[in-house]
Chains A and B, each alone.
Chain A
Amino acid sequence: MLLEVRDLHVEFRTRDGVVHAVNGVTCEVDAGETLAVLGESGSGKSVTAQAVMGILDTPPGRIGGGQVLFRGTDLLTLKEEERRRIRGAEMAMIFQDALSALNPVMTVGDQLGEMFVVHRGMSRKAARAKAVELMDRVRIPAAGQRVGDYPHQFSGGMRQRIMIAMALALEPALIIADEPTTALDVTVQAQVMDLLAELQHEYGMGLVLITHDLGVVADVADRIAVMYAGRIVESAPVHDIYKAPAHPYTRGLLDSIPRLDRKGRELYAIKGLPPNLLAVPPGCAFHPRCPLARDVCRTDVPPPYEVSGTRTSACHFWKECLDGRAGS
């Protein structure tokens, strides 16, 4: 297994109290596989990614426990210098907003070439040639002339391609993409997503795709992990989930997508508000919003029940949900 996250806990100290952003996340990604992590903002998906990459701001963040096994080694036990060598070279990250994620006062060529200079000890000249090659690879027109340009001189889609090129530079085994197309125009989103999927296939990398866009997920993901209030509530192969969700939250998400065959009918909406992470409800965090909630849900945190060999659901009543009794 390429990446295994076991029972990861992350908390933040804020002036209003300790926020438990990630409460025991367990998931895994294999080489060549795409795992989509789905959830609202505040569900803990980005923080999980940052903890895996080792770029969490500490303080205020703190890893409360768990393991992050990368090719069998627990990254959390490594020294910072050892982790640094892995970052960028063996696992890389693509950020949401390329304009702010790229250094405004450095040419894109220098920012790309830096990867080779630092991790491979190349000369600046050789690194620049590599940068042009990479820009070609992500299909930036006239790469040779644009290598000396600054980020603000590119369009949003081209900037995101540069981010992708930077992540791909050293052909890492794992890429974590945190909402890679969210900041882009809808027409460009598809192009960038296709490019990412194509390159992933070509290099045989593992891909963790963090998103809240169910449309993107259906196209490219192999597996889906749905997060709610810092926990993974359902984890399953993509087709199983779309066929029959095993958690009322997942069902709510799917039912709230407008669909042509239901045109004219009122759109389903999950009632209530996303949880306040300073005061997560006891028991199952979703119970105040859940149509299936019973007394046990208010007191007992549901463990990840095994639905099938490849599928888990953290709902006491996953069977009922699977039977379709949770939805609209």
Chain B
Amino acid sequence: MGRYVARRLLQMIPVFFGATLLIFLMVNVMGDPIAGLCGERACDTATAAQLKRQFGLDMPLWRQYTTYMGNVFTGDFGSAFNGQPVTQLMASAFPVTIRLTVVAILFEIVIGIALGVVTGLRRGRPVDTSVLVLTLVVISVPTFVTGLLLQLLLGVQWAWIKPSVSPEATFGELIVPGLVLASVSLAYVTRLTRTSLAENRRSDYVRTAVAKGLPRRRIVVRHLLRNSLIPVVTFIGTDIGALMGGAIVTERIFNIHGVGYQLYQGILRQNTQTVVGFVTVLVLVFLVANLLVDLLYAVLDPRIRYA
């Protein structure tokens, strides 16, 4: 087990540096890193040269990257266009997005798995078919359309919710945005659970459990579900990183001032420091979530644990 964790941690290191370098290159090579620094106007040549020196942008790229990473590891993510430290933006943005992600994950776990179990146990029945069709529709309608429509219906027409979320972004306000953010993944969780259940249902050990004379409930809960949910748990775990990074659209629709909002602003204003900083943290979150999934996987499946 210890070696397993150590190996996973070692594998994370090149991925972390590779992904951050990639984003660093994208932002720095393709964009103009000082474009946003002189307000809305373009900088004049002298100021530009001075700014470049000030931010070390006259150095070769690899030096810039190592300097930046060195700073990051001491907790210095640079500053945003208005001189505000990026860490300060993060401190306000991340809690909001984390709350949003938590709501989304809860939807995936509760509704996704429940629907998956119901359909998986009743394959071919009307419930199964209708839920399947529903998941297909949810997967096919892009998140921004789902978001706009729910906002129109619930927020504007029926006025059940406020169309946009207040800066505090409490859990209550995030229920509908969380559902929107979760929607596509939720449909995948349902389908994955259903398929996994249907596959395991025909397995030999379930037949053994039936031959042992166990009650149906026990067969389903103790034998079938325990095995079938392993891939589902894995999917949901890896989805955490994707949800946080993918919250841009949802946050834009509901005007939530989270990570996606800050990133969007950063990109529009071509603020290198904000974009690279936030993406670095997101990559880190993704990797840590994947590590946790691997550990959880080992806990759930003894065949991995003792391998």
Tell me which residues across on chain A come within 8 A of B212, comparing CB atoms. 87-88, 92, 114-115, 118, 166
Q: Is A114 in contact with B214, judged by CB distance below 8 angstroms?
A: yes
Residue of B nearest to A80 (CB): B216
A95 vs B209: C-alpha distance in the bound complex, in angstroms? 12
Binds A, one of B48-56, B173-181, B200-208, B255-263: B200-208
Q: Is A55 in contact with B302, judged by CB distance below 8 angstroms?
A: no
Q: Is A105 in contact with B213, judged by CB distance below 8 angstroms?
A: no
Q: Is A104 in contact with B301, judged by CB distance below 8 angstroms?
A: yes
Q: Is B302 in contact with A104, judged by CB distance below 8 angstroms?
A: yes
A106 vs B221: C-alpha distance in the bound complex, in angstroms? 13
**B 192-236 binary contact with A (CB < 8 Å = 1; else 0):** 000000000011110111111111001000110011001000000
Residue of B nearest to A102 (CB): B205
Known: A100-B204, A103-B227, A104-B302. A93 touches B211 (CB 8 A): yes
Q: Interface size on A (CB < 8 Å)?
A: 28
Known: A104-B301, A104-B303. A95 touches B210 (CB 8 A): no
A119 vs B213: C-alpha distance in the bound complex, in angstroms? 8
A176 vs B213: C-alpha distance in the bound complex, in angstroms? 14
Q: Is A89 in contact with B213, judged by CB distance below 8 angstroms?
A: yes
A46 vs B230: C-alpha distance in the bound complex, in angstroms? 31
Tell me which residues across on chain A come within 8 A of B301, comparing CB atoms. 104-105
**A 146-181 binary contact with B (CB < 8 Å = 1; else 0):** 000010110000000000001000000000000000
Contact of B213 among A57, A88, A100 (CB under 8 A): A88
In A87-116, the 8 Å CB interface with B consists of 87-89, 92-93, 95, 97, 100-106, 114-115
Contact of A95 among B204, B213, B218, B302 (CB under 8 A): B204
Q: Is B211 in contact with A92, judged by CB distance below 8 angstroms?
A: yes
A55 vs B210: C-alpha distance in the bound complex, in angstroms? 7
Residue of A nearest to B202 (CB): A57
A53 within 8 A of B: yes
B300 within 8 A of A: yes
Residue of A nearest to B218 (CB): A118
B306 within 8 A of A: yes
Q: Is A152 in contact with B223, judged by CB distance below 8 angstroms?
A: no
Tell me which residues across on chain B come within 8 A of A137, comparing CB atoms. none
A184 within 8 A of B: no
Would you give the shortest CB distance from A168 to chain B, in whole angstroms? 12
Known: A97-B204, A118-B218. A104 touches B211 (CB 8 A): no
Would you give the shortest CB distance from B305 to chain A, in whole angstroms? 9
Tell me which residues across on chain B come within 8 A of A53, comparing CB atoms. 211
A105 vs B208: C-alpha distance in the bound complex, in angstroms? 14
Q: Is B204 in contact with A152, judged by CB distance below 8 angstroms?
A: no
Would you give the shortest CB distance from B131 to chain A, in whole angstroms? 21
Q: Is B223 in contact with A103, judged by CB distance below 8 angstroms?
A: yes
Residue of A nearest to B208 (CB): A101
Residue of A nearest to B210 (CB): A55
Q: Is A101 in contact with B204, judged by CB distance below 8 angstroms?
A: yes
A319 within 8 A of B: no
Q: Is B303 in contact with A95, judged by CB distance below 8 angstroms?
A: no
A86 vs B213: C-alpha distance in the bound complex, in angstroms? 7
Q: Is B205 in contact with A104, judged by CB distance below 8 angstroms?
A: yes
Known: A95-B208, A100-B203. A105 touches B227 (CB 8 A): yes
Residue of B nearest to A103 (CB): B205
A139 within 8 A of B: no
Tell me which residues across on chain A come within 8 A of B300, comparing CB atoms. 105
Which of B205, B218, B227 has the most C-beta atoms of chain A within 10 angstroms of its own C-beta?
B205
Tell me which residues across on chain A come within 8 A of B223, comparing CB atoms. 103, 106
Tell me which residues across on chain B come within 8 A of A153, comparing CB atoms. 306
A102 vs B227: C-alpha distance in the bound complex, in angstroms? 12
A84 within 8 A of B: yes
Tell me which residues across on chain A come within 8 A of B211, comparing CB atoms. 53, 55, 87-88, 92-93, 95
Tell me which residues across on chain A come within 8 A of B227, comparing CB atoms. 103-105
Contact of A105 among B207, B209, B214, B226 (CB under 8 A): B226
Would you give the shortest CB distance from B211 to chain A, in whole angstroms? 4
Tell me which residues across on chain B come within 8 A of A84, comparing CB atoms. 213-215
Q: Is B208 in contact with A152, judged by CB distance below 8 angstroms?
A: no
A259 within 8 A of B: no
Would you give the shortest CB distance from B39 to chain A, in whole angstroms? 60
Tell me which residues across on chain B come within 8 A of A294, comparing CB atoms. none
For this complex, 30 residue pairs linking A to B, each with C-beta atoms less than 8 Å apart, are A53-B211, A55-B207, A55-B210, A55-B211, A57-B202, A86-B213, A88-B212, A89-B213, A93-B211, A95-B204, A95-B211, A100-B203, A100-B204, A100-B205, A102-B205, A103-B209, A103-B227, A104-B302, A105-B230, A105-B300, A105-B302, A106-B222, A114-B214, A114-B222, A118-B213, A118-B215, A150-B302, A150-B303, A166-B208, A166-B212
Tell me the B residues contacting A by CB distance below 8 Å. Answer: 202-205, 207-215, 218, 222-223, 226-227, 230, 300-303, 306
Known: A114-B222, A153-B306. 7 other contacts (CB 8 A): A97-B204, A100-B204, A103-B226, A105-B301, A118-B214, A152-B303, A166-B208
Tell me the A residues contacting B by CB distance below 8 Å. Answer: 53, 55, 57, 84-89, 92-93, 95, 97, 100-106, 114-115, 118-119, 150, 152-153, 166
